[in-house]
Each structure stands twice: as C-alpha cells, then as structure tokens.
Structure 1
Amino acid sequence: MSGAGEPALLERREGGVVVLTMNVPDKRNALVPEIREGLIEAFARLDEDRECRAIVLTGAGPAFCAGGDISNPGPFTGPQVRMLMKRPQRLLRAIAGHSKPVIAAVDGPAFGAGFALASACDFIAAGENASFCAAYGRIGVMPDIGLLWSLPLRVSMGVVREVVMFADVIKAPQAKAMGIVEWLAEGQTGLELAMERAQQLATKATAAIGATKALLVRAPLDIDTVLSQEMEAQAWLGATEDAQEGSRAFREKRKPEFKGY
C-alpha cells in the first residue's frame, strides 16, 4: 500500500491549484477503495472551496493508475456488479461535473480505470513515458467508469472503436496524435506541464469556466437546450464579481484580476 503512515490520497496546494496524488505506488495506484473514496470526498469538498481555482490529478511512483481494484476477483452476480459500480460511477460524476477545471497529469501507465479517470478530466497532460490502454477487453469485460462517454468527446468514433476493441497500449506521442491527450510534455514530466497549465487556469474566471463545463458535460445537446441553458448561465454570471471586473478591465484596457467568483 502507501508508505508507512501515509494516506492513500495526498493533497497539496500551490496558490490556487490543488494537487491530488493517488498514493498506493506498490499497487501502481490501482483504484482501491481508499483512493476512490478519498477522491470522492476531496472533489466534493473542493467544489465548495473558493480558494481552489484548478485541480491536478496525478499518481505517485511509476504509474498514474494501473486500473481497477482486482483484490476481489469474483465471480459476481449481476446485482453485485451493479452495486460495485455505483461508487466508481460517483467518482466519474465528481470529476466530470466539477465546477473547477481538472487536469490529469499522466506519467507512466493509465490503464483501464486509470484511462477512464484521465479521460473524464478536462485536460490530459502526458509525460513522455505515459501510456494508455483500454484494457477491459483483455479480461472479457467492456469499458466502464464512463469511458464510452468521455472518450468520444475527445476523439472520433472510429478511434474509439480501435482503442477499446483492440485494447492496444498507446504510447504518449501516439495518444497526442490521436487526440486522446491535449498536451505532451517535452523535457519535463506530465505533472510539471500540468502544473504550468493549471496555474494559468487559476487566473481565469472560475465561475465562467464552471458554467461552461456544466453545459459541455451534457454534449451533444440540441440547439434549443443550448440556447436556453446559456441564457440562464449568462444571467447568473453577469452578476458575479469576476464578470464585472472583466468588463472594467476591458474598458480600461488592462488585464483582468479575477478572484474566482
């Protein structure tokens, strides 16, 4: 497990950026209950934290997250499987629906559940040694934790089929070329690159980013739904301090100083 006395999830802050580190390196940060529940709690708490402006999710040791927890291999009945899936699905919702931008900093493997966690984030920053694999088919199951929702938002359906049906290991440069990864680190780690981008996001209008995410997470939507929801969101955002500061800064021809609300 994690080092003696160390929690399975580490949390630290650098300015407005909160770094969540999955910390069970001897299991390659597989999604054990301690990591899963820690992440659910942390994302819920940070959703209400005004000092948190962006989140970076990463893994300790040589892997981002090597997959799901297989300490109890089953077999399971249908009802048992449904019950077991509820908590990982709650984690997916906590990441995808979060009001703050979330960046996955992937160094090493992101396989199975790890791939799904990274894909659920708004952005993926991959180190040169990062690799991805929808390994589910290798054990006779289909992708879960929302991968069949999140991956098609990143790449074409043809690429989705190739990734999930062949279950090949995809190295970082190929993942960037396919569109799975937004940013590929050169001469630095995925975490270092993710922190650079997160610090930039931490200076933006956080409420506006959250409102944008809330609409994007429901894509694809019909035009009437988009127009209705953007009207409601803009009406709310117009009253925020950041929107007023943005307007003042534009008029005064200066860079805005957003505070996150």
Structure 2
Amino acid sequence: MTGEPVLLSTTTDGVRTLTLNRPRLKNALNVELWHALGDALTEAGDDPGVRAVVLAGAGGAFCAGADLSDGDEGRPAHPLARMRVVSDLALVLHELPVPTVAKVDGVAVGAGWNLALGCDLVVATPRSRFSQIFARRGLSLDCGGSWLLPKLVGLQQAKRLALLAETVDAEEAHRLGLVTWLVDPDGLDAFVADLGRRLAAGPPVALAQNKALLNEGADRTLRDALANEARAQSVNFATVDAPAAFAAFNEKREPVFTGEWAVP
C-alpha cells in the first residue's frame, strides 16, 4: 500500500480531470477504484461548476481493465452484485450531462477500453493500444461494450473485436471510428486542454440535450427523435443562452454561455 489515492481529481476553468492512479498496474480497476470513479463522475454531474470531464490514466497507460488479481476482501458476496458496480459506472458515464473526453495514451483494454468508448470523444496517441480482451480471459463483454461496439463500428466488426480479442493499434482504431483524434504524445496535454476549454465554453443546457438526443436517437424512430428535438429546443429557448448567442452574432463577438433559466 502506497497510501496514494487510486483516483486523482483536478478542476481547471470548468474542466474536471479524473485520472486513474494505479500506474504500477497500468491503472487496472480494483473495487476501490470502481467505486471512487463512480462517485467522482456522479459528483461531477451534480456540480454546476463542471462543464466538461476528462478521463485519463497515470504513468503512460490509460487502463488495463478490471484487476483480476484483486483479492476477495470487501467484495460483494455474489458476482451479480459486483457486476452492478461495473454497470452502474458505465451508466453514470453514459448519462453524464456534460461532455466527456477520454485521454488515451498507452494501453486501453477490456473494461478500460469500454470506459474510453463510453466517453463522448476519444483522443489517443499513436502509441496507444486497444483490445476487447475479455475472451482471452474466458469472459464476455462488460462495462457497456456489447452496446457500444455495434453502434460505433457495426455488428460484424464488433463481433471480430469481441470474438478474436485482437490487439488493435491506434491507426486502426482511428480508421474504425473508435478514436476521434490521433495526436502526437508531446502535444496530447495541450490538445486535450484546448478541447476541454472549448467544450466548457459551450452552452451547457444545449450541449447536455445534444448529447442526450444523440444517445437516445440511436434506439428511437424518426418520430421519437423529432419529438425529443422539439422538447429540447423549447428548453433551449427558455434559457439565456440562445438570446445571448443571437446578440453576440449581431455584435460580432463571442457569446458567453451560462445555461441560466430565463423564464420568469
């Protein structure tokens, strides 16, 4: 035991960065870290001062997945209870009302890769490596992978990744649409910092609704999607952000968004 926290949290200009901090084990997720990350994401979603979340890993790796060597002490009695911790975390990340960015350098495998895929945007370096490693461990997909992969790459490629459990390099992950941007390692910090600032400067209510509309729209009919869009747009027009944007456009300046409710 080093006494160091398994999760580091910093906030700069509305961007909350959560860093998995078990570098000796490539940030593998033990019970303590699962709970700490779930609590931290919930807290970030409830904090009006947080406008974006960055998920990162310490020590040159993103996350090596679940720590299968983790001892039984403190574990729930039944595996289904343990899996609820994993599933609850994936759901909190998916439903977080602020934009999320995975900052990936090094390995992202198993549940670690699915944590990255659960973020809205993924920034990786050419030295990143990815694998749905579950089958090699005699396990099936978890942490949302069975839902995320087919939507991101289609059913056939999802089956390839899950059944063969191959290691995919950063170039192929980018080609498949599993990485949003590939960035040189020396420029990764600056790129993610700028991306976080841009997201944090956006209209918080509109961005939250855009995220929810896109997530929900993947499973809905066009009729459902149009109804959701109309509801969301009505909410946007009831905030100060839409008028602020129109005024800024007319005055040829950048708007300042707050998400405040404008209806008396």
**Which shows bigger deviation, 248-257 or 139-148?**
248-257
Q: CA deviation at 1:222?
A: 0.4
Partners of 1:190 and 1:91 in 2: CA distance: 26
Please name the residue that 1:259 is paired with: 258
Q: Following the alignment from structure 2 to structure 1, what is the Cα–Cα distance between the partners of residues 3 and 53?
A: 25
Percent identity over paired residues: 35
Of 58, 61, 66, the residue aligned with 1:60 is 58
| Cα displacement (A) at 1:253 | 3.2
Aligned residues of 2:105 and 2:185 also touching (Cα < 8 A): no
Q: CA deviation at 1:81?
A: 2.6
Q: 2:212 aligns with which of 211, 214, 217?
A: 214
Aligned with 2:110 (options 109, 112, 117): 112
How far apart are the structure 1 equivalents of 2:190 and 2:163? Answer: 32
Structure 2 residue runs without a partner (length 5+) = none
Displacement, 1:260?
Answer: 4.5
CA distance in 2, matches of 1:38, 1:98: 16
Does residue 130 (structure 1) correspond to residue 123 (structure 2)? The answer is: no
Amino acid at match of 1:226: A
Aligned with residue 29 of structure 1, among 23, 27, 30: 27
Change (3 A) 1:132 1:142: same
8 Å Cα contact 1:104-1:194 kept in structure 2: no
Higher RCO by CA contacts (8 Å cutoff, separation 6 or greater)? 1
What per-residue deviation string (whole Å, max 9, x for no partner) do you get for residues 98-146 of structure 1? 1100000011100101011001000110022111100001012211111
Q: Are the counterparts in 2 of residues 208 and 237 from structure 1 also a CA contact under 8 Å? A: yes
C-alpha separation in 1, matches of 2:150 and 2:256: 35
Cα deviation 1:219-240 (Å, max 9, x = unaligned): 2310121111111111112111
Decide whether the 8 Å contact of 1:58 with 1:191 is kept in 2: no
TM-score, normalised by the number of residues in structure 1: 0.91
Q: Is the 8 A contact 1:17 1:202 kept in 2?
A: yes
Tell me, yes or no, if the aligned pair for 2:239 and 2:259 is still in contact at 8 Å. no
Output the TM-score relative to the length of structure 2. Answer: 0.90
The 3 A distance-change label for structure 1 pair 193 and 157 is: farther
Question: Match of 2:238?
Answer: 239
Amino acid at match of 2:243: Q
Deviation at 1:191, TM superposition (A): 4.2
Partner amino acid for 1:138? R
**SS, match of residue 256 in structure 1:** coil
Task: Show structure 1 runs of 4+ deviating over 4 A.
Answer: none
Corresponding position of 2:227? 228
Q: CA RMSD in A?
A: 1.8
Gaps of 5+ in 1: none
- Which range moves more in the overlay, 61-70 or 116-125? 61-70
Say how many residue pairs are matched.
255
Distance in 1 (CA, whole Å) between partners of 2:232 and 2:150 is 25
- Distance between the aligned counterparts of 1:254 and 1:64, measured in 2? 38
**Match 2:69 to one of 68, 71, 75:** 71
